Structure 1
Amino acid sequence: MRDERLAWFSILMCSTSTAFSAPQTFFEYQLLTPSGETVTLEEVTKAIADHQVILVGEWHSHSAVHRFQSDLYKTLLQKNPKTDLSMEQFSRPAQSTLDQYLEDEIGERALIAHGRAWPNYTSDYRALIEQAKVAQRRVIAANAPRDIVHCIGQVGPSYIKQLSRKDKKFVAAKLDTSDRPYKAQFMTLMQGMEGKMVENMYAAQVSWDETMAESIANHLKQNPGAHVMHTAGKFHVENGDGIAYSLKKRSPETNIALITPVTEIGDTSNSPFVEYQLLVLPLPKQSVGTSGHGGGDYSHPHVNGHSGCEIASKKER
């Protein structure tokens, strides 16, 4: 594994023809073109202004990434006031609660409780929601509910067939679990797991991508002329293999741009989509030694254990 300290030393020592300032704190970021050249937020926003969908990857709880998301959404709204917000951090059942909050019918405490907001909502996502509220823009609760995703991970895609008609609306109807580079990458990440267990876990991963993509596609269809900025974990966004892949299947004509966080200057020119890089400091390791992996961003704070997945109610609820 490349030594991160050496990597950052090389970044700090490099010189370019344009001003370059490597992030020094967890609140700072530097935008880079796909080929790794420095670029300003204004330049990026101008370049992607014609794209209907901007997918912004994140490391959950990274302060610089969340600051960037807020800065970007503010700038996008200035360029195009019809830019709506879509979020992995709220699932479809929370849509009515989000709508009530945006219409000032309920307060933030009710939004957090009834909308099942993530634990880091006030520090990391409040700013985005408030910007949308002031601009009178829609916020899409794009994700699938955590209990359904968990059970897909336990039972497999067939679990969806057991859901009530009402609950089927909360998750994408079709999950593409076919072999492709995205699946290979996921399987590498889950090394050590085999057989049906890891296949079901991949189906759960795909259920997030497919549901978020379907939510965005439906919103664009129902709101002609609207643009969307969507926030999600980096793995869902990078290389366009996750959400973008699923969205293109549903809406081939939609122009999509990606922005993904990195800790080293790279080259995303080979991505099937325009993919800018967001250079930030690496997150601290979450564990050391053999007690666990060192801080990967592929677990979701909104997925907890649930029992009884083999018994799904077929009654209308």
Structure 2
Amino acid sequence: MFILFCFTAFMNLVWGCAMMPKKLLIEDLSRSFKEGDIINTKTGAPVSFEELIADLNMAKVIYIGEKHTDSAHHKIQLRVIKGLIDAHPELIVGMEAFDHSYQKILDMWSAGRLDEKGFLERTHWYANWKFDFELYRDILAFIKERHIALIGLNIPFHIPPKIAVGGIESLSGDEKKHLPKRIDTTNADHRAYVEEIFKKHKVRGRESFEHFYMVQCVWEETMAESIALYLKKRSMIVVLAGNGHIIRKFGIPDRAFGRTGACFKTLLLAPAGSKAELSFADYIWVTPPIKKHNMGHVESGKMKAQSHHPVPGSPA
């Protein structure tokens, strides 16, 4: 089963007794940006929401990050979806929150054939994802209202914990059928990024970094494979996933690009009071500071946000 802590992205968060600063520092620029700013990292300058949407409209895959427990992030995700749908009425939404074994249930939701209670029960929302449904309610209600195709990107949730403990060889034959066709573990920068997290979040019984790293790669390759499969059927897919799967593009985005060759854009949502780098994403949107009771893990390196995944400390 899942447990509750995992990161969203590397960003320095400094917490103390004093009031948190209200700006996001872009370290490459030695410049701070206020809440609500949308930074085009190619130019280092803020853009309007309309300019953001105009650029995103040119891509085939749009990745919008999130800290799973931050309601402001989900409001932005919905705003972007609404901004894109007029130009792309056939767009689909892929979510990390669902695994692909629930696809028939997701199809029923998009078709308006399930009420909320039935949806929560049949997707086992609180057994799998566990986050308060209120955080995602408006997004999912809009998907249902507009009959937007909703895609479960993830691998069945019981599989990653088994890999974390015993590796892929510990999986049953049926479980192995859910694995992506290819799993690339050769990206040195990605490995170093995940290893730094692993060193700070070791948990008894999960001492093997190789297993830990394999979990991360299986996650991201599975979601990339799901994106590639459904992109063949539609002109655009909007991906909602944790910042840690999107940051620097070496998680899901590059893996999906290797399968599709389709143009993509990444939008990272970063709280005021933190630090970021231009390389984090194509766009960085400065969101309200994280409330202290909702902050999750914080480390001395980059931001650690509360998330929910089967392996403690794993990127989300």
Which TM-score applies when normalising by structure 1?
A: 0.78
Matched with 1:105 is: 113
From 89, 92, 99, the equivalent of 1:81 is 89
Residues 36 and 266, structure 1, Cα contact 8 Å, conserved in 2: no
| C-alpha distance in 1 between matches for 2:294 and 2:56 | 38
| C-alpha distance in 1 between matches for 2:108 and 2:23 | 49
Residues 51 and 227, structure 1, Cα contact 8 Å, conserved in 2: yes
Q: CA deviation at 1:52?
A: 0.4
Q: Give CA-to-partner distance per residue, 1:248-275, whole Å, 9 cap, x none.
A: 2211x2101000122346442x46xx61
Residues 155 and 219, structure 2, Cα contact 8 Å, conserved in 1: yes
**1:206 equivalenced with 2:217 (yes/no):** yes
1:231-270 matches, within 5 Å, as 231-251=240-260, 253-263=261-271, 264=274, 266-268=276-278, 270=279
From 62, 77, 100, the equivalent of 2:70 is 62
Which secondary structure state, in structure 2, belongs to the residue aligned with residue 136 of structure 1? coil
Matched with 2:151 is: 140
Judging by fraction of residues, say which structure has more strand: 2
Q: Which amino acid aligns with 1:92?
A: H
| C-alpha distance in 2 between matches for 1:302 and 1:116 | 15
Q: Give CA-to-partner distance per residue, 1:112-152, whole Å, 9 cap, x none.
A: 12212233353222222222222222111110111111111
Residues 81 and 135, structure 1, Cα contact 8 Å, conserved in 2: no
Matched with 2:288 is: 281
1:34-45 matches, within 5 Å, as 34=41, 35-45=43-53
Q: CA deviation at 1:65?
A: 0.8
| C-alpha distance in 2 between matches for 1:60 and 1:237 | 13
Q: Give CA-to-partner distance per residue, 1:4-31, whole Å, 9 cap, x none.
A: 679836669xxxxxxx9833xxxxx432
Q: CA deviation at 1:304?
A: 7.7
Matched with 2:193 is: 185
Q: Which amino acid aligns with 1:163?
A: G
Change (3 A) 1:175 1:129: same
Which secondary structure state, in structure 2, belongs to the residue aligned with residue 229 of structure 1? strand
Q: Give CA-to-partner distance per residue, 1:16-71, whole Å, 9 cap, x none.
A: xxxx9833xxxxx4322114422222110101212000011111111211110010
Q: Once superposed, what is the RMSD of the aligned Cα atoms?
A: 3.1
| Identity score, percent | 23
Aligned residues: 281
Q: CA deviation at 1:286?
A: 5.8
Which secondary structure state, in structure 1, belongs to the residue aligned with residue 68 of structure 2? coil
| C-alpha distance in 1 between matches for 2:298 and 2:276 | 21
Which secondary structure state, in structure 2, belongs to the residue aligned with residue 301 of structure 1? strand
Residues 56 and 230, structure 1, Cα contact 8 Å, conserved in 2: yes
Residues 69 and 294, structure 2, Cα contact 8 Å, conserved in 1: no
Change (3 A) 1:185 1:115: same
Matched with 1:294 is: 298
| C-alpha distance in 2 between matches for 1:112 and 1:214 | 25
Q: Which runs of 5+ in 2 are unaligned?
A: 1-11, 26-31
| C-alpha distance in 1 between matches for 2:109 and 2:23 | 47
Residues 24 and 286, structure 2, Cα contact 8 Å, conserved in 1: no
Q: CA deviation at 1:179?
A: 4.5
Matched with 1:33 is: 40
Residues 94 and 240, structure 2, Cα contact 8 Å, conserved in 1: yes
Change (3 A) 1:297 1:170: farther
| C-alpha distance in 2 between matches for 1:277 and 1:57 | 10
Q: Give CA-to-partner distance per residue, 1:201-223, whole Å, 9 cap, x none.
A: 111111111111100100012x0
Residues 13 and 275, structure 2, Cα contact 8 Å, conserved in 1: no
Residues 145 and 171, structure 1, Cα contact 8 Å, conserved in 2: no
Residues 209 and 236, structure 1, Cα contact 8 Å, conserved in 2: yes
| C-alpha distance in 2 between matches for 1:7 and 1:298 | 16
From 61, 71, 74, the equivalent of 2:79 is 71
Residues 233 and 298, structure 1, Cα contact 8 Å, conserved in 2: no
| C-alpha distance in 1 between matches for 2:177 and 2:68 | 27
Residues 39 and 46, structure 2, Cα contact 8 Å, conserved in 1: yes
Residues 132 and 138, structure 1, Cα contact 8 Å, conserved in 2: yes
- The higher-RCO structure (CA 8 Å, 6+ apart) is 2
Q: Which runs of 5+ in 1 are unaligned?
A: 13-19, 24-28, 306-317
Q: Which amino acid aligns with 1:126?
A: R
From 173, 190, 194, the equivalent of 1:163 is 173
